Chain A
Amino acid sequence: MTFMEKIQDFSLVNRIAVVTHATQANGPAICEALGRQGAKVVVGDIPANNPVAEAQHLAKLGCEALGIEVDASQVNHLQHLVAHTVQQYGRIDIMVNNTLLNDSQPAEELPIETFAQGVSATIDSVFFGCQVAAQHMLKQEALQTEPYPLKGSIINVASVAGEMAIPGHAAYCSAMAGVIAITKVLAAEWGPQGVRVAAVGAGITESLLKSIGIEDLSNVESTLPAETYMTLKSNAPTGYIPVKATASPPVVGQAVAYLASGAASYITGTTLYTDGGWLAYGYL
């Protein structure tokens, strides 16, 4: 086999992908990015968010999709999600554990239950999402990919908030750091058996800015709340982002699709930050 023949492509044709929290936050963009690369996408979310409608939307774009009503915070729901997927398609190649931003509050006022529930909701859905997917992936036949046979890929959605402090977001930042750590441990545990586990670290999004009271990016000074957020106050927020744009769902979706593909075959345990350079910049 020549070197060029060993280069994997980005195609996900005939791969079976499951996405949790699929209609929320970066979820729709992740589903679309996977679908556009050819994956069959199982769209999981709670009934109130109508995952079936999201699947129909994907179908209109030419992607094969299946909507399943599931509460990702419940382990038995996650088990059902994977079981249903396997029943329908025979296997599960890609599991995407999407995560949601939770409420913002100064730490000294944050109710302890809110902190604990905020962390648990995220951490539990990600870890048990990984677990139920891996329990099936480890049993299924491996795809004969380079450089080694691959049984499945798991992609968790983390954030730059798992690396740097976002004031007012004690629970979210703690949970995101946890997701990054879980990704490392499970990559080490399951790598030898052919399951990759990686994460995307979403950058500073408009919803994150809104959650700390920044509604209008063009008029940041006047809309900022208390001095709690002074680290952002001294400059327009995009001033901290080298590429001068906030992170959008499509860049997260693209990164997920890449990490799920054969082109990312040697990537595991890693968090790929799609942050426009935010983490690299020293905020001067």
Chain B
Amino acid sequence: MAFDFEGQVAVVTGAGRGLGRAYAQVLGRNGARVCIVELDPTSGQASVTALEGVAPDVIFVQTDVGEAAQVQACVDRVVEEFGQVDILVNNAGNEGRYVSLEITEQMWRPIFQVNLFSTFICSQLFGREMIRQGRGGAIVNVSSIASLTTFPGRTGYAAAKAGINLLTKVLAVEWAKYNIRVNAVGPGMTRTERFDESLGAGLVTEEPLNRRIPLGRVAEPSEIANVVAFLASREASYITGQIWYADGGWTARGSL
């Protein structure tokens, strides 16, 4: 699928692997200069290597997106390197799989720090830069089918992702006057490294999943990345405040 991001700068958080890298790749392949934001230097650097020759330019900024000072340093670095920022993809997150009756505050808090608070921090600090530039922008948050339907053992994850949905709507309404569009993608089950690890660890098995999903299969990362690219693109210029589920029909179907 072809989009035109020529002359634009895209920032993707948690872009060291999995869907984050796929988002960086699709934006870069279609002409955006890309900043890989990642906590782990090894995977961050690996994504840079993967994007070299694909994107017109790519940098890696090691950042803990839960820490505002580090995110601000990342904004400064992007502006220094590229002179602008047009697209932000808030992908960084983690799962937090716990039994509700046994969750402690120490287990509970980081789920929100990494998923929800980081999305707000990055949106605000990159959003301020977009407002300062005065040319608008596009923010794509990464939600989940878990924000809409239930996965036992994912109480915090579900709440954090549902929080991202409403954060998406509030920011879209508030920043519409700056022509900053804010949308979210809600991926379904996707064949990422994390998914393969879960398969390997026996946490999920593919056959019952395939039966549960109307399209009969888990997604390839590119199938989610194309949605992110569309929402970030000029073609989506009238879309804001929306949560798009790319889930093979998961959320449309009851559990029967």
Q: Which of B9-17, B36-44, B145-153, B246-254 contacts A (4 or more CB under 8 A)?
A: B145-153
Residues of B within 8 A of A127 (CB): 100, 103, 108, 155-156, 159
Q: Which of B171-228 contact A (CB under 8 A)?
A: 171-175, 177
Are A178 and B173 closer than 8 Å at their CB atoms?
Answer: no
Chain B residue at minimal CB-CB distance from A116: B117
Are B150 and A165 closer than 8 Å at their CB atoms?
Answer: no
Task: Report the separation of the CA atoms of residues A174 and B131 in the bound assembly, to the nearest whole angstrom.
Answer: 22
Residues of A within 8 A of B124 (CB): 107-108, 110, 112
CB distance from A76 to the nearest CB of B (A): 10
Are A165 and B108 closer than 8 Å at their CB atoms?
Answer: no
**Once A and B bind, how many residue pairs between them come within 8 Å at the CB atom?**
142
Q: Answer whether residue A5 sits at the interface, using C-beta atoms and an 8 A cutoff.
A: no
CB distance from B193 to the nearest CB of A (A): 25
Residues of B within 8 A of A178 (CB): 116, 159-160, 162-163
Task: Please indicate which of the listed interface residues B128, B153, B156, B241 has the most CB atoms of chain A within 10 Å of its own CB.
Answer: B156
Are B147 and A165 closer than 8 Å at their CB atoms?
Answer: no
Task: Report the separation of the CA atoms of residues A268 and B159 in the bound assembly, to the nearest whole angstrom.
Answer: 17
Question: Number of residues in B with C-beta < 8 Å to the partner?
Answer: 47
Q: Which of B129-177 contact A (CB under 8 A)?
A: 131, 146-147, 149-156, 158-167, 169-175, 177
Q: Which of A33-41, A43-51, A94-102, A180-188 contacts B (4 or more CB under 8 A)?
A: A180-188
CB distance from B255 to the nearest CB of A (A): 10
Task: Report the separation of the CA atoms of residues A186 and B156 in the bound assembly, to the nearest whole angstrom.
Answer: 11
Chain B residue at minimal CB-CB distance from A188: B150
Are B101 and A179 closer than 8 Å at their CB atoms?
Answer: no
Q: Answer whether residue A129 sits at the interface, using C-beta atoms and an 8 A cutoff.
A: no
Residues of B within 8 A of A138 (CB): 101
Chain A residue at minimal CB-CB distance from B154: A185
Residues of B within 8 A of A168 (CB): 170, 174
Residues of A within 8 A of B170 (CB): 107, 165-170, 173-174
Q: Answer whether residue A231 sits at the interface, using C-beta atoms and an 8 A cutoff.
A: yes
Q: Answer whether residue B80 sits at the interface, using C-beta atoms and an 8 A cutoff.
A: no
Chain A residue at minimal CB-CB distance from B178: A108
Task: Report the separation of the CA atoms of residues A230 and B152 in the bound assembly, to the nearest whole angstrom.
Answer: 40
Task: Please indicate which of the listed interface residues A165, A167, A179 has the most CB atoms of chain B within 10 Å of its own CB.
Answer: A165
Residues of A within 8 A of B165 (CB): 177
Chain B residue at minimal CB-CB distance from A190: B100
CB distance from B174 to the nearest CB of A (A): 5
Where chain B touches its partner, the secondary structure class is helix
Q: Answer whether residue A207 sits at the interface, using C-beta atoms and an 8 A cutoff.
A: no
Contact A108-B150, Cβ < 8 Å, known A131-B103, A161-B166, A189-B100: no
Residues of A within 8 A of B162 (CB): 162, 177-178, 180-181
Chain B residue at minimal CB-CB distance from A186: B100
Contact A115-B155, Cβ < 8 Å, known A167-B170, A173-B170, A178-B163: no
Contact A112-B68, Cβ < 8 Å, known A127-B155, A167-B174: yes
Q: Answer whether residue A140 sits at the interface, using C-beta atoms and an 8 A cutoff.
A: no
Contact A119-B169, Cβ < 8 Å, known A178-B160, A185-B150: no
Q: What is the 8 Å Cβ interface bit string for chain A, positions 151-164, against chain B (1 contact, 0 not)?
A: 00000000001111
Are B151 and A119 closer than 8 Å at their CB atoms?
Answer: no
Q: Answer whether residue A70 sits at the interface, using C-beta atoms and an 8 A cutoff.
A: no
Task: Report the separation of the CA atoms of residues A135 and B163 in the bound assembly, to the nearest whole angstrom.
Answer: 26
CB distance from A231 to the nearest CB of B (A): 6
Residues of B within 8 A of A110 (CB): 124
Chain B residue at minimal CB-CB distance from A228: B174
Task: Report the separation of the CA atoms of residues A106 and B10 in the bound assembly, to the nearest whole angstrom.
Answer: 24
Task: Report the separation of the CA atoms of residues A227 and B174 in the bound assembly, to the nearest whole angstrom.
Answer: 10
Task: Please indicate which of the listed interface residues A112, A130, A166, A175 has the most CB atoms of chain B within 10 Å of its own CB.
Answer: A112
Residues of A within 8 A of B155 (CB): 127, 181-182, 185-186, 189
CB distance from B184 to the nearest CB of A (A): 12
Task: Report the separation of the CA atoms of residues A211 and B165 in the bound assembly, to the nearest whole angstrom.
Answer: 22
Are B175 and A107 closer than 8 Å at their CB atoms?
Answer: yes
Q: Which of B102-130 contact A (CB under 8 A)?
A: 103, 105, 108-109, 112-113, 116-117, 120-121, 123-124, 127-128
Are B117 and A108 closer than 8 Å at their CB atoms?
Answer: no
Q: Answer whether residue A120 sits at the interface, using C-beta atoms and an 8 A cutoff.
A: yes
Are A181 and B147 closer than 8 Å at their CB atoms?
Answer: yes
Residues of B within 8 A of A103 (CB): none
Task: Report the separation of the CA atoms of residues A112 and B163 in the bound assembly, to the nearest whole angstrom.
Answer: 15
**15 chain-A/chain-B pairs, Cβ below 8 angstroms:** A112-B68, A115-B117, A119-B163, A127-B100, A131-B101, A162-B166, A167-B173, A168-B170, A173-B166, A174-B167, A177-B166, A178-B162, A182-B155, A185-B155, A189-B152
Extra contacts, 14 of them, besides A165-B169, A177-B147, A231-B173 (Cβ < 8 A), are A106-B174, A107-B124, A108-B131, A115-B117, A123-B112, A127-B100, A127-B108, A165-B166, A179-B159, A181-B162, A182-B155, A185-B150, A185-B154, A189-B153
7 closest Cβ pairs, A-B complex: A178-B159, A181-B162, A174-B163, A165-B169, A177-B166, A177-B162, A173-B166
